[in-house]
Chain A
Amino acid sequence: MPIRRNWRSLLLGCAFVLLVVLFAVSISFGPVPIPITEVLSVLSHPEDTDSVAGKIIWQFRLPQAITAVLAGASLSVSGLQMQTLFQNPLAGPFVLGISAGASLGVALLVLTGWEVGGSLGIVGASGAGAFAVLVILLLSARLVKSATTLLVLGLLLGYIANGLVSILFHFTNSDRLRNYINWTLGSFSNVPWAQIPPFALVIALGLLLSLAVTQPLNALLLGESQARTLGVRLTWLRFWVLVSTALLTGSVTAFCGPIAFIGVAVPHLCRQLWRTGDHRQLWLAVIVAGASLSLLADLSTKLLGRGIVLPLNGITALMGTPIMLWLLLGHNSLGHGQKWHL
């Protein structure tokens, strides 16, 4: 049906325009007022980074906006994958215990006072924590037959990691706690230029992997046994979805902290707006919508003005809950999210 298809492409186009607008607003709006003309002149002369406006835009706002886009896109894609893989509407990027593993890594680093590495140290520690959880999950994914068991296993790993974190808390002082607590509040502003290329590379890899598994994930919408009869190798699928999710959420958690709600809310929002469950179409939709939503959340942290920042996770929760509630009450997508036709 070409008309329907055009309508969806149009919607995607609109979402893309929204993303570009939000990106432009993020760069031109901030605690330090910079006139639009100056913003444009700074952007048109990338070699001139000596002016204050130039430094602020190139060193602070641009990396922050890019980080928000990358993080929003990857969290949403991994949320979409998790919801289909576990056939659970409440599944999100963090159900596998990856963020808990990352928290443990950061807690170990920050709370033991072994923190000279600064932000790079935190990235390394949370990456290592997430990787440790991933290895355990991948090893068990080959042994475990059902997706539910895997889900429970992820939850249990999360509990273990959180338990260890709380024991670590026991032996620390409040000064170091602040560093850890601020990490758990999430922020897109901690990725300087030097760290953007590796961050983007890992995310690109994760996104490509997730694009490769859209077809078998579509088959999984019909149920596990149906998918099997259609020739999908479930253990193989599970393995690659796990790898892609770990790359996406592990890197985001490492660089930005555990960002809540975006990964759960965006896939539902997109299923509802695009009226489809087809992963081939949703993949791009989720990327664009997730990036837009996280840019919007990042902009909202600056709403108070006077240079004051609000905690990002507070904003994402405030934005994510109404979206979920709206879907739940008005459109009844939750629980039936998997039932959309291809």
Chain B
Amino acid sequence: MALRFYDSVRWRSWVFWRKLNRFWQLKITRKQSCASLIKGAFLTLSSLVLTVGLAGCDVNNSDQAVTNFPNNDQCVASFDAQTDYFPQKASIKYAQGFTVSYHKNYKLVTINRPFPSAKTPLHYVLVQCGTPVPNAIKADQIITIPVRSLVVFSTTHIPHLEKLKVVDRLVGVADLSLIYSPVIKEKATQRNLTEVAKGGRLNIEEIIRLNPDLITTFAVGNAEADTYPKLMELGLKVALNAEYLENSPLGRAEWLKFTALFFNQEALANQEFNQIADRYEKIAQLTQKITQKPTVLTGLNFQGTWYVAGGKSYSAQFLRDAGANYLWQEDQSTGSIPLSFEAVFAKGRNADFWLPNASMWHSLADITASDPRYGEFAAFRKGQVFNNNRRQGNGANDFWESGVLNPDLILADLVKIFHPELLPDHELFYFQKLQ
């Protein structure tokens, strides 16, 4: 140990000595210094030209990126401390994950559990543009609203923008190939959209170039997977959306109001969400008196592990509301349970319906090709296998995108599947019967 320390000291002193020698050997002649001066001037000049050129490019680019700014970004011209700048207020009924309180010129948003392992809630202060930031307020982020340019990292936030009529504020998405929305695809063909995380790799430079007012994303609480700390390090404003932790379909959909907070679009969000909730509750009412509840099995075997939805998960809630008897509804977990094929077979072989939620299956033949043992399930033999991939593009599935905001449509599909007589006119939207 001591010897190693001695060695390292000796090595370092030797390196230092060599550097010192070299320094003294540098005898600068007048000729040399003149040449270096010219060289230096040349370098400075050329770098100046480059910088100006690049800056010029930059301005052009950012102009291109933020073309369609609407005119209704009301920045307050003269601040009045007594005015209530937010006459529209969001009222939250189903979502457990966030709350908002209104104060004259700012909103205080609390995200109760931003990710599963989060110990403390997050507080965002949303300040109306042109008004002063409140003093002595404890917040994780202070964000100026209404937001004029936005980058979204989750496909589930895109339907919010369409509902709130603010698609024009969208300047960037994570990866276009994961998006189903025709509106966004169309916007992309007009080159109004930048991809900032193609293939799951964050393109920091592109984000810096876009310099959006806000980035909406989600966190899983894993330092390797989460991108938001890096983005916040750059001084960007990041809103963490935790809709995926809600355990009820309407709770997930209500995060529409969370997005609305950043655009002062609460009135529209309240109205749209009320319609969704009304339709959902009406359909759920239809199944209240049902006594014959068919048994339902979900999921599929992934290389030896069959993940079934937990009994307290939002999928289980859907099945309950659709008048089905979910086989694992007694289970207490909110996530999914990793079971063996054998255990699922024993419990689910006689289930009346099977919803595999498998993007790659388009026919019954696909299923038995993947494992002949699936053919033993009663639902398979009776042809009662319904898959959620009716609206599926290349790599994107609309069920996981607009479905989050349209729980009424999903519920209608499920009721149509389990009790077709209750909704004779409904046509399956997200689901299809595998033949």
Query: Which residues does A use to contact B, with CB under 8 Å?
Result: 30-32, 52, 55-56, 59-61, 113, 115-120, 122, 169-175, 178-179, 182-183, 185, 187-190, 192, 194, 257, 302, 306-309, 311-312
Contacts and interface: CB of A to CB of B under 8 A. Distances in A.
B305 interface: yes
B235 interface: no
Interface stretch (B68-76, B143-151, B341-349, B406-414): B341-349
Nearest to A115: B360
A116 B340 contact: no
B303 interface: yes
A116 B369 contact: yes
B372 A309 contact: no
Interface residues of B, number: 33
B305 A118 contact: no
B340 A31 contact: yes
Interface of B: 175, 177-178, 199-201, 302-305, 337-347, 349, 359-360, 366-367, 369-373, 376, 395
A31 B395 contact: no
Most buried by A among B304, B305, B369, B370: B304
Most buried by B among A52, A55, A61, A118: A118
Given A56-B345, A175-B359, A31 B339 contact: yes
A192 B349 CA distance: 17
Contact of B305 (A113, A188, A306, A309): A309
A61 B367 CA distance: 21
Most buried by B among A56, A122, A173: A173
Contacts of A178: 302
Given A172-B199, A185-B303, A257-B303, A117 B369 contact: yes
Contacts, number: 107
B376 A55 contact: yes
Given A31-B340, A116-B366, A170 B371 contact: no
A60 B304 CA distance: 11
A190 B347 CA distance: 19
Contact of B340 (A117, A173, A189, A194): A189
B409 to A, nearest CB: 21
Given A170-B200, A172-B200, 19 more contacts: A30-B343, A31-B340, A31-B342, A31-B346, A55-B376, A59-B345, A116-B360, A116-B366, A117-B369, A118-B371, A122-B303, A173-B177, A174-B200, A175-B359, A182-B305, A187-B303, A189-B304, A307-B340, A307-B342
A194 B372 CA distance: 9
B158 to A, nearest CB: 15
Nearest to B200: A170
A305 B233 CA distance: 45
Nearest to B360: A115
B302 A32 contact: no
A260 to B, nearest CB: 15
A30 B342 contact: yes
A202 to B, nearest CB: 20
Contact of A173 (B178, B342, B345, B349): B178
24 contacts: A30-B342, A31-B340, A31-B346, A52-B346, A56-B346, A60-B345, A61-B342, A116-B369, A118-B369, A118-B370, A119-B370, A170-B200, A170-B201, A173-B175, A179-B303, A187-B304, A187-B305, A189-B340, A190-B304, A192-B372, A192-B373, A307-B339, A307-B343, A308-B337
Given A118-B371, A173-B178, A190-B371, A32 B343 contact: yes
B411 to A, nearest CB: 23
Given A32-B343, A308-B338, A309-B339, A182 B304 contact: yes
Contacts of B346: 31-32, 52, 56
A59 to B, nearest CB: 6
A318 B302 CA distance: 23
Nearest to B374: A118
Contacts of B337: 307-308
A190 B349 contact: no
Nearest to B368: A118
Most buried by B among A178, A182, A257: A182
A295 to B, nearest CB: 16
Nearest to B369: A118
A192 B370 CA distance: 10
